[in-house]
């Protein structure tokens, strides 16, 4: 009998590189960055063709729990996993696997991001189903959804494809032989030209028990604390208490560093998804169409003799105008204005650091 497939949408990130639009009080996944609906709403909607609502869970931080409830009123309260502290994706994945694994011991989990753009949702769903099928064949593997690079990109992680492990639903499933995070320009160019590497979307499919076994081996403290949380059962008050006791004590670590990189068995599927993680303002041109001058404009914006600019801001009471400039990012909000060169878009998080050092947390 096939293992039950559960879906967890991870919505706990802050998105500092999209400041000042993305804030701690309302991170990017709760904004409509690339459409009419928020990125979180789109993340749920794109999997509904293959997932019943009762099988979809959302994991988020305590500060954003009310936003999730507002944006996803159809999500049952028992399917909202609230992290009392943000400890990165490693503890978040351990928590979801402990909680769901305790209820469905043999379940497979599709652990998916909430802040990605996917222009081809049908192909994405097909890859998730193919990965789930591969997991039935080889339960000891972790499965990563990858996409073929369309350019050298230094802001993404890369996966090197090895030999074909198996085929599932007509899709080849490759052994993953190497992970590289954010390479330099020369390395990224070599990777993109080689055809041997995929962008790592940080979308995963795996057996909950397999993940917990890996945490037991490589991060035993996280494993033990997650097990104690999972053992609580269905009592909401007890769960809230043990989460508050155990979860903030977990080491903050990315799931890639915690289990993915040291794991002996990792596989990757390759998709043509028109994907972008919208990790910085410069990356918006990956997923949204620019005009003939390469300008990406949202709001009441006027450009004169300007090219390759990304502008978010302006309304009926205010216009944003650019004259004779190129390769800029301009983001205008009621209480903050960002102007930077596109090549420096990854450095926006340094503004957050400076604001916090100066005691101006109200703008963060």
- Delimit the domains of the chain by residue range: 5-275, 282-363
Taking residues 47-65, report their average pLDDT: 97
The DSSP symbol for 259 reads I
Per-residue pLDDT tens for 159-169? 999 999 999 99
Where do the DSSP E strands lie in the chain? 5-10, 56-61, 80-83, 108-113, 117-118, 142-147, 157-168, 171-181, 197-207, 266-271, 275-276, 296-298, 301-304, 310-312, 320-323, 328-333, 336-341
Position 3 confidence tier, pLDDT thresholds 50, 70, 90: confident
The answer for residues whose C-beta is within 8 angstroms of residue 346's C-beta and 6 or more apart is 17, 155, 280, 282
Taking residues 149-174, report their average pLDDT: 94
Farthest CA pair distance, the chain? 64
Position 315 confidence tier, pLDDT thresholds 50, 70, 90: confident
Position 184 confidence tier, pLDDT thresholds 50, 70, 90: very high
Look at strands 310-312 and 171-181 and give their pairing: unpaired
* Domain 5-275 is found in CATH 3.20.20.70: no
168, 134 contact by CB (below 8 A):
yes
The share of the chain scoring above pLDDT 90, in percent, equals 85
- Helices and strands of the chain, counted as H and E runs: 10, 17
The answer for residues whose C-beta is within 8 angstroms of residue 333's C-beta and 6 or more apart is 20, 21, 313
On average, the pLDDT of the chain sits at 94
Look at strands 171-181 and 266-271 and give their pairing: antiparallel
pLDDT on residue 284: 85
What's the distance, CA 279 to chain centroid? 9
Q: Rounded to a whole number, what is the distance in angstroms from the first to the last CA of the chain?
A: 49
pLDDT on residue 255: 96
């Amino acid at each position: 009998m096939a293992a039950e497939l559960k879906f967890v949408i991870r919505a706990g990130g802050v998105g500092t590189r999209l400041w000042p639009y993305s804030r701690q009080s309302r991170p990017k996944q709760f904004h409509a960055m690339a459409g009419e609906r928020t990125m979180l709403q789109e993340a749920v909607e794109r999997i509904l063709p293959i997932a019943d609502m009762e099988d979809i869970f959302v994991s988020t931080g305590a500060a954003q729990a009310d936003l999730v409830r507002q944006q996803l009123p159809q999500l049952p309260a028992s399917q909202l996993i609230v992290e009392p502290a943000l400890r990165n994706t490693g503890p978040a994945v351990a928590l979801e696997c402990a909680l769901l694994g305790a209820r469905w011991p043999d379940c497979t989990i599709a652990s998916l991001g909430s802040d990605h753009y996917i222009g081809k949702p049908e192909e994405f769903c097909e890859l998730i189903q193919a990965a789930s099928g591969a997991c039935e064949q080889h339960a000891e593997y972790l499965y990563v959804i990858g996409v073929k690079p369309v350019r050298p990109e230094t802001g993404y992680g890369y996966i090197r494809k090895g030999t074909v492990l198996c085929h599932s639903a007509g899709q080849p499933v490759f052994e993953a032989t190497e992970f590289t995070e954010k390479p330099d320009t020369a390395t990224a160019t070599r990777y993109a030209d080689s055809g041997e590497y995929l962008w790592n979307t940080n979308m995963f499919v795996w057996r909950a028990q397999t993940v917990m076994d890996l945490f037991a081996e490589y991060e035993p403290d996280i494993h033990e604390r997650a097990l104690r949380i999972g053992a609580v059962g269905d009592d909401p008050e007890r769960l809230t208490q043990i989460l508050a006791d155990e979860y903030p004590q977990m080491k903050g670590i990315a799931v890639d560093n915690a289990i993915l990189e040291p794991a002996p068995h990792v596989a990757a599927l390759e998709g043509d998804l028109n994907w972008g993680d919208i990790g910085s303002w410069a990356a918006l041109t990956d997923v949204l169409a620019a005009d003939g001058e390469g300008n990406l404009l949202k709001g009441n914006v006027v450009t004169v003799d300007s090219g390759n600019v990304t502008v978010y801001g302006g309304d009926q009471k205010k216009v944003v105008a650019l004259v004779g400039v190129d390769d800029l990012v301009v983001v205008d909000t009621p209480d903050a204005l960002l102007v930077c060169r596109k090549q420096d878009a990854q450095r926006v998080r340094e503004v957050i650091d400076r604001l916090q050092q100066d005691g101006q947390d109200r703008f963060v």
